[in-house]
Structure 1
Amino acid sequence: MKVALVHDWFSANGGSEKVVAQFIDMFDDIDVFALVDFFTEEDRFVILQGKRAHTTFIQKLPFAKSNYRSYLPLFPIAIEQFDFTGYDLVISSSSAIAKGVLTKVGQPHVCYCHTPMRYAWDFYHLYLEQNGLKGMGLKSYFVRRSLHNIRMWDYASSQRVDHFIANSNYIAKRIEKTYGRKAKVIYPPVATNTFKLVEKKEDFYLTVCRLVPYKKVEIIAEAFSVMPNKTLIIIGEGPELNRIKRFKGKNIQILGYQPQEKLNWYMENAKAFIFAAEEDFGIAPIEAQACGTPVIAFQSGGTLETVVDGVTGCFFDEQTPQSLVSAIDELESRYDS
């Protein structure tokens, strides 16, 4: 069987890329496609087994490596240029654009959907606010118009998919609300066997994620800025790095990218792992629990399916520093009791 695997883009090694790695392991004859492929050689080896993705014209546009998302209005026409003639099965790994590929009658298209496109649907108003686009200026109009067109295309392209798979019950509900489609839930793979259970913890808190707005790392940093006696370690890279750096201090360390061996050590030894996003599934909280590290998570999204309140962690009900501080106090009271 000849298989085509389509991913949105390859720029960082995150949770969705780990799903891609599993798909590549499953099939002997599989080719990979994406809007752009800017993987490091290390990530290419780990995720793509050394393969290079077939890419679109966006790969060669100016500044694409550092700012490919600015070409969002071109994404639909770019992804539709892939020709899958000769493939028996098309699999898309999609949180944005990959599911929009064109396939033929009798050519099954299965979409593993990590989330419907966030900034076109659920996070539309948040995206405008965080980018200073809530007003009615010319730039705001252009962005709103572009996102409206993307939203219309996104819904239309969802009807091209033959079978949807969701990574959580939470995402299955969003797929049904957004696209009017039913989805089978298959949780993503988590390599829990690569972590060690450590019972005696160090005295620091940890968060690990891509530093993008919806991860809400700024909330975590702000909470610890008013708790100078507690140490926070932030691991990750992304466009929000400079915003987060303003909180850097004696008790807040920003380590950026860390190799897997060091990352595992921090996961295994942290007093608790903090997760402030309304996440689709959330692989990092699973990894933390595999180490015996309790999770303090925002009470929404996929973590409600994986964190057991009062057993493997606790929740906070608002994405505010104050709510997080209260949850940390609650967890520490359990430590002391």
Structure 2
Amino acid sequence: MKVAIVHEWLDTYAGSERVLEQMLAVWPGADLHALCDFLPERERGFLGGHVPRTTFIQRLPFARKRFRMYLGLMPLAIESLDLSGYDLVVSSSHAAAKGAITGPGTLHLAYVHSPMRYAWDLQAQYLRESRLDRGLKGAYARWLLHRLRLWDHASAARPDVILANSRYIAERIRKVWRREAQVLHPPVDTEAFTPVAAKQGFYLIASRMVPYKRVDLAAAAFRRMPDRKLVVVGDGPQMAAVREAAGDAANITFRGHVGKPDLVSLMQSARACLHIAEEDFGIAMVEAQACGTPMLAFGRGGARDIVRTPEESDAPTGLLFTEQSPEALIDTVERFEAMGTAFSAAACRANAERFSSANFRQGLRDAAARHLGHG
């Protein structure tokens, strides 16, 4: 069977590249295609020797540092890929890859991290944060996003099968593309995390300090709970606001950026980990569960797929709250404390193993096998 894997762009080893790594493990003989490839040599090991076939984006001026400024050309670039002669095309898409053109004899399986969010529900935020919400540049940006929306919707008809990384993304796909998607959660390296049953008395929030993560709400909540300890890990442009929300609270400790071994140790030792953002999925929540640690999370987005609550399971792994506010978090912490030993490290670890890399690979194989010959 001749297989092609279509990735968007390669410039760092991050979440979507972990998915690509597992796709290449399932189909090691596949040809790899990408819009452009500027991945540093030190990060190329996960490609297993594959050299991507790239598009004209690779050769455009300043592309190495600013390829994202060619967003408007990416639909044309992805459509320029020659995917004739393949039995199976597997795309990994959060922007353009799912728009690859395949023939009637080819099954196209699209793994979707998210529809093009900056062209849909996050358009206003994108324009505002990019300072493109006014003037001639703003008018051009709105026109470009309008054109991208039209293409994004039209090209969503091309894959034969769509896999979404969470129920939340499946709902977004249904909303903006009017397509049904099967859910296949992304791979998490659960083997890199060891569960620890003995917990210490602190709560942990580890995050980039950016506005949508709402770490400031955790700081504000624990400022009002002086008998509960909070450890804050991470850094970023929102750090000043988070420190302001914490004030001079002696029960809140800022650790800044820490290496992975220290982060894993903190996850293993924490009484519970906190997650206040609305995420498409949320790999860090799975990693905390793999450490045997309960989650207290905002109950929208991927957290609904990850955290097993007492209402839905006899072996709960955390609690969800319905409002991003200090009051909601305070209520959830107090409820968690009142439940005592209801949350076990063993239950958290067993829950995390649902999201292992091995399960992801098997899910890909099963999805392809179900549809091959019917594409």
If the length of structure 1 is used for normalisation, what is the TM-score?
0.83
SS of the aligned residue for 1:278 comes to coil
2:137 aligns to what? Answer: 139
CA shift at 1:132, angstroms?
4.4
1:164 aligns to what? Answer: 162
CA shift at 1:21, angstroms?
1.5
SS of the aligned residue for 1:72 comes to helix
1:148 aligns to what? Answer: 146
2:254 aligns to what? Answer: 252
> How far apart are the structure 2 equivalents of 1:86 and 1:209?
44
> How far apart are the structure 1 equivalents of 2:169 and 2:103?
27
2:193 maps to amino acid: F
Pairs within 5 Å for 1:1-337:
1-45=1-45, 47-134=46-133, 136-208=134-206, 216-217=212-213, 219-221=214-216, 223-224=218-219, 227=222, 230-235=229-234, 241-244=236-239, 247=242, 251-255=253-257, 258-259=259-260, 261-310=261-310, 311-321=316-326, 323-332=328-337, 334=339
The answer for unaligned runs of 5 or more in structure 1 is none
CA shift at 1:326, angstroms?
4.5
Distance change in 2, residues 1:323/1:7 (3 Å): farther
1:242-263 CA-partner distances (Å, limit 9, x unpaired): 333664697223216x34x444
1:58 maps to amino acid: I
Decide whether the 8 Å contact of 1:36 with 1:59 is kept in 2: yes
Decide whether the 8 Å contact of 1:221 with 1:252 is kept in 2: no
> How far apart are the structure 1 equivalents of 2:288 and 2:341?
21
2:255 maps to amino acid: Q
If the length of structure 2 is used for normalisation, what is the TM-score?
0.76
- Further displaced range: 50-59 or 119-128: 50-59
CA shift at 1:91, angstroms?
0.6
2:142 maps to amino acid: R
> How far apart are the structure 2 equivalents of 1:309 and 1:159?
36
Distance change in 2, residues 1:335/1:35 (3 Å): farther
Distance change in 2, residues 1:181/1:266 (3 Å): same
> How far apart are the structure 2 equivalents of 1:79 and 1:212?
31
Give % identity.
43
SS of the aligned residue for 1:327 comes to helix
SS of the aligned residue for 1:314 comes to strand
CA shift at 1:34, angstroms?
2.1
The answer for unaligned runs of 5 or more in structure 2 is 247-251, 311-315, 343-375
> How far apart are the structure 2 equivalents of 1:55 and 1:14?
19
Distance change in 2, residues 1:245/1:21 (3 Å): farther
1:298-331 CA-partner distances (Å, limit 9, x unpaired): 1112211220234312223233455445434544
Decide whether the 8 Å contact of 1:273 with 1:293 is kept in 2: yes
- Further displaced range: 24-33 or 58-67: 58-67
> How far apart are the structure 2 equivalents of 1:155 and 1:15?
24
CA shift at 1:151, angstroms?
0.7
SS of the aligned residue for 1:279 comes to coil
> How far apart are the structure 1 equivalents of 2:103 and 2:123?
32
1:194 maps to amino acid: A
SS of the aligned residue for 1:36 comes to strand
Distance change in 2, residues 1:111/1:208 (3 Å): farther
- Further displaced range: 174-183 or 64-73: 64-73
Answer 1 or 2: higher relative contact order, Cα 8 Å, separation at least 6.
Answer: 2
Decide whether the 8 Å contact of 1:80 with 1:101 is kept in 2: yes
